[in-house]
Structure 1
Amino acid sequence: MLWALMLAGCGGSGSSDAGGDGGESAATPPEAPAPGSPQAGYSPPTQYADDYCTTGNYPGQWTWDPALVRKQDAPATSGTPRIEQVRNGVVIATYTSLGGDKGYSKPNSADGGDTSVGPFRRQPYLQWRSGDLFKVYPAVYSGRDMQIYLGPNAVNASDYSAGIFSVPENITIQGVSVNGVRPVIVNPPTGASNSTYGQSLVYIEGRFNASGVLVKPATNITIENIDIVDAAGGGNIGKAGIYVNGAKDLTLRRVRIAGFKRHSANGIFATGNNTGTLLLENVELDGNGGASGPEHNAYINASKTDPGFTFLVRNSWSHDAYYGHALKSRAQRTVVEGSYLSGQRAAAGTQAETYLLDVPDGGILEARNNIFVKNRSGNQSNGASLTFGVESASSTRAWGLTVEHNTFVAFSRYYDDAGHELFPLFIGSRALGDKRIDANVYVGYCPSSNATRNERGTNAAILGFNDIDLSFRPRAPQLTGNGNIVGKPSYEHVANGAQRRTHALGARD
C-alpha cells in the first residue's frame, strides 16, 4: 500500500540541487539531507513535448514512486482480536471485541469488570474513564461486534434510569503495529451495526437533550494507527467510514479510510454539532464517495455553535475520490498544509472526482505547501482544484483566503467531453475578506478565454512538465516566496511530517 509519509523523487539518482536555491543557505541554513530524501537529488530529466496546449498530448499522470515512499504499516490479514485497556500505564482489562452489538455491558464496569463485551458498546453501561488508552492489536476486526461507538453511557442502572450519562473525554484508541502490520476494521456482510446507528464503522457522539441540542461534546478523542475499510462483500453503510456527531477537538492520526465508494459513503462525515478542531494528521483517504449525495473522501459541516470551528489537515493524502471531492469543508476555518490531493483520469463514460478541495461557504481558508493534481475527471465533474465561497457568502462568519506555496498540476487540458478547461482556482464572486494568492507553481494549464480562470496571484511560476521533477519540485527553484513558509509542514512527509526548509516557490520540499 502506497503511503504518503516520505516523498522522494522517482529514481532518486538525478543531478544534485546543490547551488540551485540561490540564497537558501544564508536565509535558512539547511541540515544535511537524509539519504533518499528529496533534497538528495532530483529524479532524472524528462523530455516531454511542450506543445500540449495545442496538441492535447500530455504526459501520463504520475504519483509518488512506491519504491521510495515510506509506507504506512500494512493492514492485518489475520490475527486474534485483542484490545487492552490501559490506565496510568497499567493494563486493567483485555477484550476480544471492540463493542458493536455484542451483548450488553454490565453495570459498574468502568474499571474493567466486564470483558465479555467490547468497551465501545452504545448502551447501556460505560467501560472507560477519562484518560484511558485502548491499545488495539493487529487483527481483522470485522463483525457487528467489531465496531466502535464512543459516546454517552451510564455508570449503572440507577444512573441509566435517571438519564445520567457520562460523556467520553481524553480517550485514545491506538492501533499497535507488530512487524509492520497494524489492525484493520473491515465492513462485514452485516454492514454498520445498530450500535453505530447503521451509519458507520466508527461513530463518535456527544450528549444531546430531548430536543436534539448538544449538551456536552465528546472531548479530546484520538484515534490513531488503524485502517478502516469497506469490503466487496460488506453490508450497508449509512453515511461514512467514520461519523462524527458532537465532538470537540477530535484527532485522527496515521489512519487510512478506504473503499467506501462501494456503498456510496463518505470516508469521514462530520455533522454541524462539532466544535474546536477536527485534525487529520498523516491520514490517507482513498476511494470514498458516491453519487447519492454526492459523497466525498471527507465532508465536514460548519459548526452550529463554534464560530472558530477548524478543520485542520496536515501531511495527509486524499486521492481517488468517487463523484465527490477529495476534501469538502464547510467549517468556519479550514487549514490544509503539507498535503497531497490528487484526482484520477476517468475511464470512458464514467466520472471520477469533482473538486480536490471544496470550501463552498468560504470563511477562513489557508492552503499552504500542498500538491494539487487534476486530470480528465469526466462528464458531470468539475475542473477546479480549489474552490472558495462559490455557494454562499455569509457575513456572520470571519473571512480570509490564503493560498500560498502550493503546486497545481493539470494532466489534461479539458476535464470532460464538452471541452471545458481545467483551471486551478475557483473563487466565488461574492467571497468576502482579504485574499492572498502568492508564490504558487502552475504546471499544465493553458490560457483560458475565461479571464477569471486565469487567476494565478502574485509571484506565480508558470512551468512546463520538464521544469519539474517527478516529485513535483521545480528543478530551478526561485526564492521569491514568503519567508514565513519556512518551518511550516512540508509536503515531503518525512518522519510523520517534516518542516519546510526553504521559501522557494510552490510546494518546494
Structure 2
Amino acid sequence: MLLFALVLAGCGGSQSSDAGAGPGEAAAPTPAASAPVSSQVGYSPATQYGTDQCATGNYPAQWTWNPASIQKQDAPATSGTPRIEQVRNGVVIATYTSLGGDKGYSKPNSADGGDTAVGPFRRQPYLQYRSGDVFKVYPAVYSGRDMQIYLGPNAANDADYSAGVFSVPENITIRGVSVDGVRPVIVNPATGASNATYGQSLVYIEGRFDASGAVVKPATNITIENIDIVDAAGGGNIGKAGIYVNGAKDLTLRRVRIAGFKQHSANGIFATGNNSGTLLLENVELDSNGGAGGPEHNAYINASKTDPGFTFLVRGSWSHDSFYGHELKSRAQRTVVEGSYLSGQRAAAGTQAEAYLLDVPDGGILEARNNIFVKNRSGNQSNGASITFGVESASTSRAWGLTVEHNTFVAFSRYYDDAGHELYPFFIGGQAPGAKRIDANVYVGYCPSSNAAKNERGSNAAVLGFDDIDLSFRPRSPQLTGNGSIVGTLSYEHLAGGSARRTNALGAKD
C-alpha cells in the first residue's frame, strides 16, 4: 500500500546531413579517471564508496554520464555564412540569408519563394511558405534581430491583408543541416529578442486568435530539428523563454539544444494554455535555463484551455542544471516522460540550484518510465523531491493516474539545504485521486526518514549502494523481476538519444 501525504516542500571528411544523426561531498577512494561508459560494451570500473553515507555524509562526488560515451551531439557552429533553403516536394525554390526577425517587410504573393530579401519567418505582413515546406538551415551563427523565428498568422496578399485574413502555418519543418559534425546555432544578440517575436523569445510559435483571445486556428504540425538555441553573456533582454509556444497543435522539437537562458532569467521553453494535441521533445537537451523571476524553468508547460487530452511528451532527452526552477514543469493534462535523464546539481555555497526535477503540480495523468533522476544538495529555499504530483490542485475536471516504473533515483547528498531537510524521491499530494503505481524502480543514496511519505519506494523496488551501480547508473547485478512489458520500450542513451530496453531489469537501464 502506498503512503501519500502532503509534505511541505520548503523544510557536440566533408559530409553534410539534414540532421544530427559538481562537485559533491567527500568521496571514498575511486579508480583513476573513468573510461567512457557505454551500456553496450560493459560496465565502468568498480568503485569503493562504501555504504555508510547516511552516517558519515561522505557521498561520492556527483558524476555526469560521460557526454562522449554513447550519443555524440553535433557541435554548434562558431562561423559560417547564414543560408536557409526553402524546399518544396524535394526541390529548392528559394534561398535566404536571414531567418526573419525585423529585417524589412516581406512582399505580397511571396508564398512560392518570390521574396528572398527578407527571411521567411517574420511577423507580418505577408506569408512566405505553403503547407508542407521544409526549410534547411545550414551551419552558421544566426544572431541578430533578423535571425529569429516567428511562425504565426500572415496574409498571402494585399486583399487578404486588407480583409484581415491571415493564414496560419501548417506542416512546416525547420531542419538544421549538419556539416562535418557542426550544426546551426541561433544566439541571443546584444539587441535581445526582436519585435517579430514580441520581445519574448528567439523562436515564437503562434496560432490565430479572435477578439476575445480564444484560439481560432492553431499553428499545426510544426517541427524544429537539429538546431542549438542559446543565450549569450552579451545578449539582450529575453522576455520569457528561448522558445515561446502560444497556440500550437502537435509541435515537435527534435535534436534541439536550448541552453543558458538563466543569464536573463528566462525559461528554456515556455508554453501557454493555448496549445493542444502533443508537444513532443525528442532527443532534446535543456541546459542551464531558469531564474528567480517566476520562477523560470528549463521547461514550463501550461495546461491546455481547450484540449482535455493535451500531452507533454518527453522522450530520450536530457534536462539538467536548471536554475532556481525545475528541470521540467508540466501542468499539461497528460505528462509522459520516458527514456530521459533529469539531473540537478550541487548548489554553490550560499546559492540555490534547481528546485524539483519533474514537477507536475496539477496532477492529471503522469507516466514516468525508464528515466534517471539525479539530485544533489540543491541549496536553501530549494526542494528535496525528484517528482511531484498533484501538490497544488486536485481538480476532478481532468483524468487522473500515476505510473512511475523502471526509473533510477539517485541522491548524492543526504540533505538538500543547510537546515538538514532530506532528499526524497516523491512528493505526492494527499488529495490526488486516481490509481497510483510505483513499481520496479531503483533507489541509491537515500536515507531512512522519520516521515513515512519520504520513505515511499513503491513495490518491487531495489535499494542499492553506489558501488552497486556503474557510471551509466546501471545496476551491476541486474534484478530481472520487473514487468515483462517494459522490454522493447524506450531506454536512454546519453547525450540525447534512445534505444530499446532488452530486459525487465529493475531501474532505468538494462
Corresponding residue SS for 2:179: coil
Instruction: Quote the residue 1:405 is aligned against.
Output: 406
1:201 maps to which residue?
202
Instruction: State the 4+ residue runs in structure 1 displaced beyond 6 angstroms.
Output: none
CA distance, structure 1, for counterparts of residue 211 and residue 236 of structure 2:
31
Equivalences for residues 107-126 of structure 1 within 5 A: 107-126=108-127
Q: CA–CA distance in 1 between the matches of 2:496 and 2:488?
A: 15
**1:256-298 deviations in Å (ceiling 9; x for gaps):** 0000000000000000000000000000000000000000000
Change (3 A) 1:486 1:429: same
Asked if the contact 1:365/1:400 (under 8 Å) is kept, the reply is: yes
CA contact (8 A) 2:170 2:219 kept: yes
Alignment of 1:276-291 (within 5 A): 276-291=277-292
Aligned to 1:434: 435
In the other structure, the counterpart of 2:240 is 239
1:173 aligns with 2:174: yes
2:496, 2:439 → 1: CA distance? 28
TM-score w.r.t. structure 1 length? 0.93
Aligned equivalent of 1:457: 458
Counterpart CA distance in 2 for 1:167 and 1:66 is 39
* Alpha carbons 2:71, 2:493 under 8 Å: kept: no
- 1:340 and 2:368 aligned: no
Question: Matched residue of 1:39: which SS?
Answer: coil
Q: Give the corresponding residue for 1:127.
A: 128
* Matched residue SS, 1:114: coil
Q: By how many angstroms is 1:494 displaced?
A: 9.0
Partner in structure 2 of residue 20 of structure 1: none
Residue-by-residue CA offset, 1:173-219 (whole Å, 9 max, x unaligned): 00000000000000000000000000000000000011111000000
CA distance in 2, matches of 1:12, 1:102: 49
Give the secondary structure class of the aligned counterpart of 2:509.
coil
Aligned to 2:94: 93
RMSD: 1.4
User: Which residue in the other structure is 2:448 paired with?
Assistant: 447
Aligned to 1:293, the other structure's residue is in SS state coil
Query: Separation in 1 of the partners of 2:34 and 2:234?
Result: 38
CA distance in 1, matches of 2:410, 2:495: 22
1:493 Cα deviation from its structure 2 partner: 5.1
CA contact (8 A) 2:65 2:494 kept: no
**Structure 2 counterparts to residues 119-198 of structure 1, below 5 A:** 119-198=120-199
Partner of 1:263: 264
Q: Is the 8 A contact 1:256 1:283 kept in 2?
A: yes
Decide whether the 8 Å contact of 2:67 with 2:494 is kept in 1: no
Q: Per-residue CA shift, 1:222-258, capped at 9, x if unaligned?
A: 0000000000000000000000000000000000000
For residues 500 and 416 of structure 1, the distance between their equivalents in structure 2, rounded to whole angstroms, comes to 36
What secondary structure does 2:172 align onto?
A: strand
TM-score w.r.t. structure 2 length? 0.93
Aligned residues: 481
The letter of the residue matching 2:198 is Y
For residues 291-332 of structure 1, the C-alpha deviation after alignment (integer angstroms, 9 at most, x for no partner) is 000000000000000000000000000000000000000000
CA distance in 2, matches of 1:233, 1:410: 35
The alignment partner of 1:40 has SS state of: coil
Matched residues in 2 for 1:103 and 1:67: separation? 43
CA contact (8 A) 2:285 2:496 kept: no
Partners of 1:40 and 1:284 lie apart in 2 by 24
What is the one-letter code of the residue matched to 1:343?
Answer: G
Once the two structures are TM-superposed, the CA of residue 499 in structure 1 deviates from its matched residue by: 1.1
For residue 497 of structure 1, report the CA deviation from its aligned partner. 1.9
Tell me how far apart the structure 1 counterparts of residues 420 and 281 of structure 2 sit (CA, whole Å): 35
1:12–1:42 CA contact under 8 A, matched in 2: no
The amino acid of 2:434's aligned partner reads G
Question: Is the CA contact (8 Å cut-off) linking 2:317 and 2:340 kept in structure 1?
Answer: yes
Supply the distance in 2 between the matched residues of 1:370 and 1:306 (Cα, whole angstroms): 27
2:496 and 2:237 map into 1 onto residues whose CA distance is 37
Give the distance between the partners of 1:51 and 1:95, measured in 2 at CA. 61
Q: Which residue of 1 aligns with 2:365?
A: 364
Once structures 1 and 2 are overlaid, which stretch shifts more, 491-500 or 191-200?
A: 491-500
Distance, in Å, in 1 between the alignment partners of 2:371 and 2:407 is 5
**Is 1:507 matched up with 2:505?**
no
SS of the counterpart of 2:467?
A: helix
The answer on whether the counterparts of 1:413 and 1:422 sit within 8 Å (CA) in structure 2 is yes
Superposed displacement of residue 484, structure 1? 1.0
Structure 2 unmatched ranges of 5 or more: 1-11, 13-19, 22-32
Q: What's 1:19 paired with?
A: none
- Conserved? CA contact 1:337–1:367, under 8 Å: yes
**Residue 121 of structure 2 contacts residue 149 of structure 2 at CA under 8 Å; is this kept in 1?**
yes
CA distance in 1, matches of 2:375, 2:497: 25
Equivalent pair of 1:190/1:234 in contact (CA under 8 Å): yes
The equivalent of 2:425 in structure 1 is: 424
Q: What's the % identity of the aligned pairs?
A: 86
Give, in whole Å, the separation in 2 of the partners of 1:492 and 1:156.
Answer: 48
- C-alpha displacement of 1:39: 3.3
- The answer for the alignment partner of 2:488 in structure 1 is 487
- Counterpart AA for 2:187: V
Q: Gaps (5+ residues) in structure 1?
A: 14-35
Q: Deviations over 1:11-51 (max 9, x none)?
A: 569xxxxxxxxxxxxxxxxxxxxxx7413211111000211
Q: Does 1:253 align with 2:283?
A: no
Q: Give the secondary structure class of the aligned counterpart of 1:417.
A: coil
Aligned twin of 2:354 = 353
Q: Corresponding residue for 2:305?
A: 304
State the shift of 1:495 in Å. 9.2
Name the CA distance, whole Å, in 2 between partners of 1:171 and 1:102: 21
Identify if the C-alpha distance between structure 1 residues 495 and 340 changes in structure 2 by more than 3 Å, giving closer, same or farther. Answer: closer
Deviation at 1:158, TM superposition (A): 1.2
Deviation at 1:67, TM superposition (A): 3.9
* SS of residue in 2 equivalent to 1:466: helix
